[in-house]
Chains A and B, each alone.
Chain A
Amino acid sequence: MHIVVCIKQVPDSAQIRVHPVTNTIMRQGVPTIINPYDLFALEAALELRDQFGGEVTVLTMGPPSAEDSLRKALTFGADRAVLLTDRFFAGADTLATTYALATAICKISTEFGAADVVFTGKQTIDGDTAQVGPGIAKRLGLSQLTYVAKISALDLTARTIDAERRSEGGVQILRTRLPCLVTMLEATNQIRRGAMADALRAARAPIVKWSAQEAGVEDISKCGLRGSPTIVKRVFAPAARSEKAVMIEAAEQPAEALIDAIFKRQPTLETELATLARGY
């Protein structure tokens, strides 16, 4: 079995700061990490490989420095890493990204064996769109299982996969045909600590690097900024509110002072809260 896991190297968004004067993002010194949700996807892939045999290929699109994330994925136990890197990919929105990744997955299937399952995280922590997984599935004509909490069964003979998918009101148990695309939810598993052997191998392992042309991109105008239907017209800091917070200062009985201030400002809240509280 061959599994492809798409990962993304993202800035640790918890550590991003905005320049107070220029309102621009200060990226310098912000560490990069593998998108946390992609680690759940990678672990799910490794578990399937452990159970059914085969290989796991990790794929990322990004600048040459994204190699760090691929090496990290190899230390966790991935068998092969592919870096899709080319200036033509720069500025891609989700539609252009799915074109490049789907093309690369086709090439991976030709070179290293047809992909049975393609995994991604449910979304990234920098873009937060959750659109790339469904987009890749559509491009490749695969069925998709998004927001998956658990792969419950896999039958390589019948070529079917069962999964628990989170929906708004509960959990759907779905069965679909292989090959398919799965996006993984958080907190369903924990990425393993890679074996020492994997760490040693990862340090020396060659990483497959493809330009757009090498990956088999036929129409460069579908990549990067040129291939992106969405355009960012304006980036700005949220407006500061003119109204300042009313500060409650009471050395004694601050709780009572705060409640008084709340009810003074919103008198209707007192009866509403009493009604709500009575339910408990």
Chain B
Amino acid sequence: MSTAPKTATSASGRAATKKELPEHFKAYRHVWVFIEQERGQVHPVSWELMGAGRKLADKLKVDLAAVVIGPEGEATQNAAAESFCYGADLVYMVADRLLADYRNESYTKALTDVVNAYKPEILLLGATTLGRDLAGSVATTLLTGLTADCTELDVDVDGSLAATRPTFGGSLLCTIYTLNYRPQMATVRPRVMPMPERTVRPVGRIVSHPLGLVEDDIVTKVLSFMPDRESAKSNLAYADVVVAGGLGLGSPENFQLVRQLATVLGAEYGCSRPLVQKGWVTSDRQIGQTGKTIRPKLYIAAGISGAIQHRVGVEGADLIVAINTDRNAPIFEFAHMGIITDAIRLLPALTAAFRARLSPHSRDRIAS
């Protein structure tokens, strides 16, 4: 359950669109990024957000801070050190053994407390399962605005955060402001923002803050954890090459043509939303606004018409190649390269041709 963003009509009906920040919010400054770590690993989305946060902080001429929350120990210290390499001016840290596993109650307390103590103007989190679970709780506790799944973040002339996100299933974009409340909160999905350069920097100022909880205060207990098998996990978001199929494939059996080409290319495979809704492909392979955002070097879309919902998920690709029978399909409006033909016929030929080109034997033959 959640609410669709309001429409332009409702927005224009609202008079209070000019900034009248209440006095007690005027102390809120600086841009913060929540550094998400789970089981000792920082999620790359946190560094992507540091890149976006750096730009906002520079524009506002304020500091960029990372918030590192986790168990005491090496992993959390490393996360803090890495934050400096990705542009943090300082790090706020809550380190406590009770934070070894992500639990909503303890993490909400930790993040809410540092916000109340050090007052950021902007707070960014990754739109992961952890980030969304945490962001909703923190924003409600602070009674402030939270804009989900932004695709663009900018600072307005008057210094407000302009958070742009797709709306109406991705058909339109809307820019959302949180004018009279602080902090201004937003989540961004993995791979929507480019990964910034990592620079080697000495560790800077770390401000530690206590958690102030004992185990008995936390109602939720982690009974166990079953990590995903690496082999079963799709690496769509971070894949260099992605091949995807859509309704144009006609039948679930034909989807194997997509998988075959992906195998030959050493690529990940994906699909558009209707295929998941029809049950042809599992939802972890869905590309688009409600699925994964990808940024591969090469993206091949076979039989995908290219609804805006899909476009949002693939726009960051270096090279988008579209195969579709319909020359008026919207995908040709954002693909770099297109071919008007039936994907069912072209895919096997493409697989064979790539195999011939890329196999070491054929190279040897050419060389000799």
User: Could you give 22 example pairs across A and B, Cβ below 8 Å?
Assistant: A17-B171, A93-B6, A96-B3, A127-B2, A127-B148, A145-B220, A167-B102, A169-B38, A169-B228, A171-B226, A176-B220, A176-B221, A229-B181, A231-B11, A232-B6, A245-B336, A248-B339, A249-B339, A266-B318, A274-B360, A276-B265, A278-B358
B235 contacts partner chain A, Cβ-Cβ < 8 Å: no
Which of chain B's residues has its CB closest to A278's CB?
B360
A237–B173 touching, CB < 8 Å: yes
Given A133-B136, A172-B224, A231-B176, 17 more pairs with CB closer than 8 A = A10-B4, A14-B277, A91-B10, A93-B5, A97-B3, A129-B2, A134-B136, A139-B140, A168-B38, A170-B225, A225-B10, A232-B174, A234-B11, A245-B332, A247-B337, A253-B349, A258-B321
B222 contacts partner chain A, Cβ-Cβ < 8 Å: yes
Interface size on A, residues (CB 8 A): 105
Which of chain B's residues has its CB closest to A93's CB?
B3
From A143, A237, A276, name the one whose CB has the most chain B CB atoms within 10 angstroms: A276
Residues of B contacting A197 in the complex (Cβ-Cβ under 8 angstroms)? none
A230 contacts partner chain B, Cβ-Cβ < 8 Å: yes
A 106-147 binary contact with B (CB < 8 Å = 1; else 0): 000000000000001101111111111111111100011111
Contacting B at CB under 8 A, from A213-260, are 225, 228-238, 240-241, 243, 245-249, 253-256, 258-259
A254–B346 touching, CB < 8 Å: yes
Q: Which of B7, B169, B177, B297 contacts A231 (CB 8 A)?
A: B177
A127–B221 touching, CB < 8 Å: no
A196 contacts partner chain B, Cβ-Cβ < 8 Å: no
Q: Which of B6, B333, B350 contacts A259 (CB 8 A)?
A: B350
Residues of B contacting A56 in the complex (Cβ-Cβ under 8 angstroms)? none
A241–B334 touching, CB < 8 Å: yes
A276→B298 CA distance, assembly (Å): 12
B333–A241 touching, CB < 8 Å: yes
A7 contacts partner chain B, Cβ-Cβ < 8 Å: yes
A35–B1 touching, CB < 8 Å: yes
Total A-B residue pairs with C-beta atoms closer than 8 Å?
Answer: 344
From A134, A236, A261, name the one whose CB has the most chain B CB atoms within 10 angstroms: A134
Residues of A contacting B181 in the complex (Cβ-Cβ under 8 angstroms)? 229
Residues of B contacting A96 in the complex (Cβ-Cβ under 8 angstroms)? 3
Q: B: which residues have CB within 8 A of A?
A: 1-8, 10-11, 13-14, 16-17, 38-39, 41, 43, 101-105, 108, 128-130, 132-133, 135-137, 139-141, 143-149, 162, 166-181, 219-228, 240-241, 263-267, 273-274, 277, 282-283, 289-290, 297-298, 308-309, 311, 318-319, 321-322, 332-341, 346, 349-350, 352-354, 357-360, 363
Which of chain A's residues has its CB closest to B327's CB?
A247
B4–A14 touching, CB < 8 Å: no
Which of chain B's residues has its CB closest to A129's CB?
B148
Which of chain A's residues has its CB closest to B321's CB?
A262
A 141-163 binary contact with B (CB < 8 Å = 1; else 0): 00111110000000000000010
B14–A146 touching, CB < 8 Å: no
A118→B66 CA distance, assembly (Å): 34
Residues of B contacting A205 in the complex (Cβ-Cβ under 8 angstroms)? none
Residues of A contacting B264 in the complex (Cβ-Cβ under 8 angstroms)? 277, 280
Residues of B contacting A246 in the complex (Cβ-Cβ under 8 angstroms)? 336-338
B14–A132 touching, CB < 8 Å: no
Q: Which of B5, B266, B341 contacts A276 (CB 8 A)?
A: B266
B11–A233 touching, CB < 8 Å: yes
A98→B149 CA distance, assembly (Å): 19
Q: Which of A14, A130, A255 contacts B349 (CB 8 A)?
A: A255
From A10, A162, A170, A232, name the one whose CB has the most chain B CB atoms within 10 angstroms: A232
Q: A: which residues have CB within 8 A of B?
A: 6-8, 10-11, 13-14, 16-18, 23-25, 35, 38, 90-98, 101, 120-121, 123-139, 143-147, 162, 166-177, 186-187, 225, 228-238, 240-241, 243, 245-249, 253-256, 258-259, 261-262, 265-266, 269-270, 272-280
A23→B168 CA distance, assembly (Å): 12
A272–B240 touching, CB < 8 Å: yes
Residues of A contacting B319 in the complex (Cβ-Cβ under 8 angstroms)? 262, 265-266, 269
B140–A138 touching, CB < 8 Å: yes
Which of chain A's residues has its CB closest to B224's CB?
A173
A277–B359 touching, CB < 8 Å: yes
A210→B176 CA distance, assembly (Å): 30
- Nearest 9 A-B pairs (CB), nearest first? A13-B169, A134-B136, A276-B266, A229-B145, A129-B148, A255-B349, A230-B145, A170-B227, A138-B140
Q: Which of B104, B173, B321, B337 contacts A235 (CB 8 A)?
A: B173
Residues of B contacting A25 in the complex (Cβ-Cβ under 8 angstroms)? 7, 168, 171-172
Residues of B contacting A254 in the complex (Cβ-Cβ under 8 angstroms)? 339, 341, 346, 349
From A127, A144, A233, A275, name the one whose CB has the most chain B CB atoms within 10 angstroms: A233
A240→B129 CA distance, assembly (Å): 32
A238–B136 touching, CB < 8 Å: no
From A92, A135, A279, name the one whose CB has the most chain B CB atoms within 10 angstroms: A135
